[in-house]
C-alpha cells in the first residue's frame, strides 16, 4: 500500500489528477476505509475545484479520523468559501484541538468573523496568524499577501484608519509593487499618502530600472506607474495620463500575443457551431437544467461587478464571482477546431460539470450569479448545456469603457487591453459575436445599459428583476455590503455614481480609437 500511495502522490504532484483518481478508486475497492486513500481522493477532488465531491470524501475522512489536522482545516476552508461561517468555525476549532500553532487556522477564523461580523475577533485572529508567520515587521509580504490584505480589510471595516495607514504604508515602503494595497490606501484614505510618503514610495521605481529580467522588470515598473497614475488623476490629470500611457507601453512590450488573436478566436467560435446540431442536442437535455443560473456578460469594466452586487441583494441568491469553467473547458476545443463527437454526451457533461463545481458554493440557493465577462464568447456552449440559464448583457459607452480598461492595469490577464488600438479591435469582436448570438435567439439575453443602471437605477432594476424572476426588494445598503473579488471591488462599496459617464480623458486618442473601431466593424460586416 505504501508503494501505491507514493505513486498516487506522484500523480497528484504532476497534476495528473485523472490518473490519481483512477488509481485511488481501484485501491478503495478492496480497502474502502483506508484513511490515506480517502484523504488523497478528497485532496485531488479539491485541487480540481470539485468542492462538493471533495467535501463528501473529507467528511468520510473525518469519520475515520476526526483528529486529523489537515482534514479539519480543509473542511473549514470549503465551508468558509461557501459562506457557511458557523460550520467553518466548528472545524477550525476542531483543528485547534490538534495543533494551536498553525497560522492558516487563525486566518480562516479571521475571515469568518469579518463577515459574521465580529470585527474585534476578526482582528485578534488575524494578528495571531501574523504573529505565527513572523510578526508584522518580519512577515514575508509576497508569500503572505492574502493575510496582509485580510488584515487591512478588517481595519477598513472597523474604521480604524490610523492603524490601517500605519500597516499599509509600512507594507508599501517594503514593496511598492503591492499595487492592490496602494489602491486600497488611495480609495479609503488618500490623505495618508503625504508628499514625504510619496517620495519614499516612488523612489522604489529606481530599483527595477536595471532589472535584467526584461519581462518581469517591465511588468513591475508598469504596476508602479499605474499606481502613480491613479494617485495623480485628481490633482494632475496630464501627468496621470502620461503615467497610464507609460505603464501600458511597458505591458504591451512584455507580452507576445497578437492583437488579432481575439479576432481569429471569435471567428472560430462562430464557425465551430456550424459543425454542431445544437437543436438535436438541446432536445435531449432537460429544458429546465440551469434554471436559476444568471450569467452576467459583457466587456471588462462595463459594470459587471456593479450589476452582480445589485443581483446579490435579491432573495435566495448567491453571487459566485467569476467562474472560469466554460473558458477553461471550451477554449481548447475551439482553438484546436475539434468538432464535437458524440455531442449529446459532451454538452450534457459540460453542463453537469459546471453544476457540480458550483453546487457546494450555491448551497441550495435558488439563484446563482456568475459574472465572468468573457462568457459572452461561450454563450452558445452555456445555453446548449444549461438551457434554463438567463443572461444579462451589460454594455457601456465604448469610449468610457475603453478608458476604464486602459487604466485598469490588467497586465498579462488581458493582452489586448494595453493599447487603445487593441481595445478597439476587441470591442468590435465583442459587439459582433453578441449580435450574432442575438440574431439566433434573444429571449434569454437581456440588454442592460450601464448608463441606465447608474442614472435610472430603480426602473432598470425592476426590469432585471422581472426578466430573471427574482424576488425581494432591491436594497442599496445591502448592495454596498457586497464584497467583490475582482478589480472593481473598491468601487462596489461606494454609492452608485454618474462620474464614470462621458469621460473626457485621453482626448488625443479618442478619434483614432473610433476610427479603428469602425474599421474593425467594417471587417465584420464584410465577413458575413
Give the chain's radius of gyration (CA, Å): 25
253 touches 282 (CB < 8 A): no
End residue of a domain, out of 254, 275, 299: 254
Instruction: Please check whether residues 285 and 320 belong to one and the same domain.
Output: yes
Instruction: Please check whether residues 207 and 282 belong to one and the same domain.
Output: no
Instruction: Tell me if 415 is assigned to some domain.
Output: yes
Q: Which of 279, 294, 285 is nearest to 347 (CA)?
A: 285
Burial of 161 (0-12, 13-18, 19+ CB in 10 A): middle
Cβ contacts of 51 within 8 Å, gap of 6 or more = 45, 78, 81, 82, 357, 359, 360, 361
Instruction: Please check whether residues 180 and 318 belong to one and the same domain.
Output: no
- Spatial separation of the C-alpha atoms in residues 517 and 523, rounded to whole Å: 10
42 touches 68 (CB < 8 A): no
End residue of a domain, out of 204, 237, 254: 254
Instruction: Tell me if 518 is assigned to some domain.
Output: yes
Instruction: Please check whether residues 368 and 234 belong to one and the same domain.
Output: no
Q: Could you tell me the three cell numbers for 458? A: 430603480
Q: Which of 68, 456, 440 is nearest to 282 (CA)?
A: 440
Q: Which of 99, 95, 98 is nearest to 109 (CA)?
A: 95
Instruction: Tell me if 311 is assigned to some domain.
Output: yes
Instruction: Please check whether residues 338 and 191 belong to one and the same domain.
Output: no
Instruction: Tell me if 136 is assigned to some domain.
Output: no
pLDDT (tens place) for every residue of the chain, 528 residues total? 556 778 888 888 888 898 899 999 999 999 999 999 999 999 999 988 888 889 999 999 999 999 999 999 999 998 888 778 889 999 999 999 999 999 999 999 999 998 777 899 999 999 999 999 999 989 988 888 899 999 999 998 888 989 998 898 888 877 766 666 877 888 788 888 777 777 776 666 555 444 555 445 677 778 778 888 888 888 899 999 998 998 899 888 877 778 888 999 999 999 888 777 777 777 778 889 999 999 999 999 999 999 999 999 999 998 888 888 898 888 877 876 555 544 445 788 889 889 988 887 787 899 999 999 999 999 999 999 999 999 999 999 999 999 999 998 887 778 899 999 999 999 999 999 999 999 886 668 999 999 999 999 999 999 999 999 999 888 776 666 554 444 444 444 555 655 556 667 898 899 999 999 999 999 999 986
102 touches 95 (CB < 8 A): yes
20 touches 36 (CB < 8 A): no
172 touches 201 (CB < 8 A): yes
Instruction: Tell me if 503 is assigned to some domain.
Output: yes
End residue of a domain, out of 208, 224, 254: 254
Half-sphere exposure of 446 (CA within 13 A, CB side): 20
CA distances 494 to 66, 367, 526, Å, are: 44, 25, 43
Instruction: Please check whether residues 331 and 236 belong to one and the same domain.
Output: no
Burial of 18 (0-12, 13-18, 19+ CB in 10 A): exposed
Instruction: Tell me if 480 is assigned to some domain.
Output: yes
Instruction: Please check whether residues 361 and 428 belong to one and the same domain.
Output: yes
Instruction: Please check whether residues 248 and 382 belong to one and the same domain.
Output: no
Count of domains observed in the chain? 2
Q: Which of 42, 35, 106 is nearest to 78 (CA)?
A: 42
Instruction: Tell me if 205 is assigned to some domain.
Output: yes
Instruction: Please check whether residues 241 and 267 belong to one and the same domain.
Output: no
Task: List the CATH number of the domain containing 510.
Answer: 3.40.50.300
Instruction: Please check whether residues 243 and 336 belong to one and the same domain.
Output: no
Q: Which domain holds residue 181?
A: 170-254
Amino acid at each position: 500500500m505504501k508503494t501505491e500511495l507514493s505513486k498516487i502522490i506522484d500523480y497528484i504532484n504532476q497534476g495528473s489528477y485523472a490518473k490519481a483518481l483512477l488509481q485511488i478508486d481501484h485501491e478503495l475497492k478492496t480497502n474502502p476505509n483506508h484513511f490515506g486513500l480517502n484523504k488523497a481522493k478528497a485532496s485531488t477532488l479539491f485541487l480540481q475545484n470539485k468542492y462538493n465531491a471533495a467535501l463528501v470524501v473529507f467528511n468520510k475522512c473525518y469519520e475515520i479520523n476526526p483528529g486529523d489536522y489537515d482534514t479539519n482545516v480543509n473542511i473549514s476552508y470549503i465551508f468558509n468559501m461557501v459562506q457557511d461561517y458557523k460550520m467553518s468555525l466548528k472545524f477550525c476549532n476542531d483543528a485547534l484541538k490538534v495543533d494551536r500553532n498553525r497560522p492558516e487556522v487563525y486566518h480562516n477564523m479571521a475571515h469568518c468573523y469579518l463577515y459574521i461580523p465580529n470585527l474585534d475577533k476578526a482582528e485578534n485572529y488575524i494578528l495571531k496568524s501574523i504573529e505565527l508567520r513572523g510578526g508584522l515587521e518580519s512577515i514575508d509580504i509576497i508569500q503572505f499577501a492574502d493575510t496582509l490584505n485580510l488584515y487591512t480589510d478588517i481595519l477598513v471595516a472597523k474604521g480604524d484608519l490610523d492603524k490601517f495607514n500605519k500597516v499599509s504604508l509600512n507594507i508599501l515602503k517594503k514593496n511598492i509593487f503591492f499595487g492592490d494595497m496602494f489602491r486600497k490606501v488611495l480609495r479609503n484614505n488618500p490623505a495618508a499618502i503625504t508628499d514625504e510618503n510619496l517620495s519614499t514610495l516612488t523612489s522604489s521605481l529606481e530599483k527595477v530600472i536595471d532589472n535584467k529580467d526584461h519581462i518581469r522588470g517591465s511588468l513591475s515598473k508598469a504596476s508602479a506607474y499605474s499606481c502613480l497614475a491613479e494617485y495623480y488623476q485628481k490633482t494632475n490629470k496630464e501627468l496621470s495620463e502620461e503615467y497610464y500611457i507609460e505603464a501600458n507601453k511597458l505591458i504591451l512590450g512584455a507580452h507576445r500575443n497578437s492583437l488579432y488573436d481575439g479576432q481569429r478566436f471569435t471567428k472560430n467560435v462562430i464557425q465551430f457551431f456550424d459543425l454542431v446540431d445544437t437543436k438535436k442536442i438541446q432536445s435531449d437535455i432537460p429544458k429546465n437544467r440551469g434554471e436559476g443560473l444568471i450569467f452576467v456578460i459583457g466587456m471588462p469594466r462595463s459594470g459587471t461587478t456593479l450589476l452582480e452586487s445589485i443581483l446579490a441583494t435579491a432573495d435566495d441568491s448567491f453571487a459566485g464571482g467569476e467562474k472560469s469553467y466554460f473558458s477553461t473547458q471550451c477554449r481548447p476545443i475551439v482553438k484546436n477546431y475539434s468538432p464535437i463527437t458524440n455531442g449529446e454526451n459532451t454538452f450534457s457533461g459540460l453542463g453537469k460539470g459546471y453544476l457540480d463545481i458550483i453546487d457546494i458554493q450555491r448551497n441550495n440557493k435558488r439563484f446563482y450569479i456568475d459574472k465572468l465577462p468573457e462568457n459572452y464568447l461561450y454563450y452558445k456552449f452555456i445555453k446548449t448545456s444549461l438551457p434554463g440559464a438567463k443572461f444579462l448583457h451589460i454594455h457601456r459607452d465604448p469610449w468610457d469603457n475603453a478608458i476604464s480598461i486602459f487604466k485598469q492595469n490588467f497586465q498579462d490577464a488581458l493582452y489586448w487591453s494595453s493599447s487603445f488600438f487593441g481595445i478597439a479591435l476587441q470591442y468590435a469582436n465583442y459587439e459582433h459575436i453578441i449580435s450574432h448570438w442575438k440574431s439566433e435567439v434573444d429571449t434569454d439575453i437581456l440588454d442592460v445599459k450601464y448608463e441606465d443602471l447608474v442614472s435610472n437605477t430603480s426602473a432598470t432594476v425592476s426590469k432585471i428583476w422581472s426578466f430573471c424572476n427574482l424576488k425581494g426588494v432591491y436594497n442599496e445598503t445591502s448592495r454596498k455590503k457586497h464584497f467583490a473579488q475582482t478589480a472593481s471591488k473598491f468601487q462596489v462599496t461606494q454609492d452608485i455614481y454618474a462620474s464614470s459617464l462621458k469621460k473626457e480623458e485621453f482626448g488625443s486618442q479618442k478619434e483614432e480609437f473610433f476610427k479603428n473601431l469602425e474599421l474593425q466593424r467594417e471587417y465584420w460586416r464584410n465577413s458575413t
